[in-house]
Each structure stands twice: as structure tokens, then as C-alpha cells.
Amino acid sequence: MSGMNDDRSLAVGEEPVEVLHPHWKTLVRPVGLAVVLVAVALAGEVLIPAGKSAAVERLALAVVVIVLLMWGLMYPLLVWRTTRYELTTKRLRLRTGVIARNGRDIPLSRITDVSFRKTVLDRILGCGTLVVESAGEHGETPLREIPHVERVSARLFQLVEDERLRAVQNPQGDGRGDRPDAWLPAQAARQPVSGAVGPRAARSALGRRVSRKRRGRPSGAVVSSRAAWSAWQRCGAGERHSNHAKHERDRQRPAAVTVEQAAG
């Protein structure tokens, strides 16, 4: 399981659940063929008559047997080893191919039905065919010779239900990247704002911090829209208070000059 956790092909937040290979039943025929070839080779070594050409004939027989073993046993073994069915918390991953690799990913959110089929021999050996139906052009996907197919089917069904439950509980994800205030730094709401700072200066400061954030420079945590609006209101209230005080002083100044002239 630790090896699966190091798989860099997994998406962010995706965790491996189980990795499967085809059932060992797929190797019965290649192993039987290999036993027959070895028996034929031994019989040939004994039946070849002694003579000048006996060594060459035995060597030729050995070469033929080795080639047939490579093709009849080693290649099916490599096919079995490189065929992978991987269940993760986000998708069903299919990987096949010895030299040229082929892959297909079925998101759990697109799986509509999970079923299995087992013959009498499959029930004896503990394997079967897993049938996965998904929305799209591929439709039904049969996965043959799956070991413990009933358990795998139940596990896949549970993963699909968990994915649907997450989609219902959080239909839009965290939505942080879609909000217009998602990149506003939290310092804008936490720092005190003096009365001399107006909304234009506050917006300019926020814009500079947002630009630094988008260029990859650290500028603090994310602030909510309510906190940012509260900070902007405090800036506007301070400017309105400053303007009101200045207006009152300008209005009272002519009255003071008139009183001084009357007294003179």
C-alpha cells in the first residue's frame, strides 16, 4: 500500500484503495504448455540416436523448446503482471500492455451500474467477470478473470456511492477559485484603518496585494467577502467623518470672522 501512495499519476486528494491483477487461472494454460514442452525436450534428448550429428540435433531441439517456452510461458506471465485494475477514491483505472501501454480511466461519478458474472468453474476457483456500466460512448466494460469478484464489486459499489454522497453534500466543491474575493488577503480585514484613509486607497492596497498573490507571492490567508466589505466600509466611514469635520470647520470660520469684526 505504501508503494501505491507514492504513485505520482494520482490526482490531488485521490487515494488508492486496491490494485488487482487477473486471476491465476489465466496462467494455467501457459504453465501446462510449458510442462508439455519440457517433457518433449527430455524425450527428444533421449530418443535422438548417438552419432556425429547428435549434438547438433540436441542443440536445435533445445533452442526450439526455449523459444516456445519464451512465447508460451513468459509472454503470458508478463501480460498477467502488467495488467492492472486499480480502484481509487476518484476513479477506476485500467492499465494493459507489455511494451506499448494502454490506459483507461472511468470516473466514479460516471459509473451507473456494477454487476458480476460467475460460471461454475469461476465459483470453484473464486473469480469472475466484473461488468461496469458508465455514461458515455464506451457503455458496458467487462473485466474478466477478476479474483474475489463479489468483494471487488461490493467495494466498487461503495466507492461509487461515497462519490455521489460527496457530490450531493458539496455540489460546487469548495468554490474558492470562482469567488471574486477568493484572492483577497486576510490582513485587509485584520489591520486597523485610520480615518484619513479613503476607499480609493484601500482598494489600491487590496489590488496590489491581489496582484502579488496571483504572481505567486505570499500575501496571507484568504478572507471572506463579508470581512473585505466590512474593511471597505470602515475606510469609507473614516473618509466621510473626515470630510464632515472639514466642512464644519469651513462653515464656522466665516461666522467667527464676523463676530470679531462686530466686536472691533
Q: What are the tens digits of pLDDT across the range 122-155?
A: 999 999 999 999 887 777 899 999 999 999 999 9
Task: Please provide residue 138's backbone torsions phi and psi, each rounded to the nearest 5 degrees.
Answer: -75, -35
Confidence (pLDDT) at 210: 46
Residues near 57 by Cβ (< 8 Å), separated by ≥ 6? 48
Taking each helix axis from N to C end, the angle separating 28-47 and 75-82, rounded to the nearest 10 degrees, works out to 160
Residue 106 has pLDDT above 50, yes or no: yes
| pLDDT class of 187 with cuts at 50, 70, 90 | very low
Q: Tell if the pTM clears 0.75, that is, is over it.
A: no
How far apart are the C-alpha atoms of 64 and 70, rounded to whole Å? 10
Lookup: cell for 180 = 471574486
Average pLDDT over residues 219-247: 54
Confidence (pLDDT) at 194: 45
Residues near 86 by Cβ (< 8 Å), separated by ≥ 6? 4, 16, 18, 19, 20, 92, 93, 94, 95
Looking at every residue in the chain, the average pLDDT score rounds to 75
Confidence (pLDDT) at 189: 40
Residue 257 has pLDDT above 80, yes or no: no
User: Bridge partners of 185?
Assistant: 222
Residue 1 has pLDDT above 70, yes or no: no
Confidence (pLDDT) at 92: 94
Confidence (pLDDT) at 58: 86
Maximum CA extent, the chain? 150
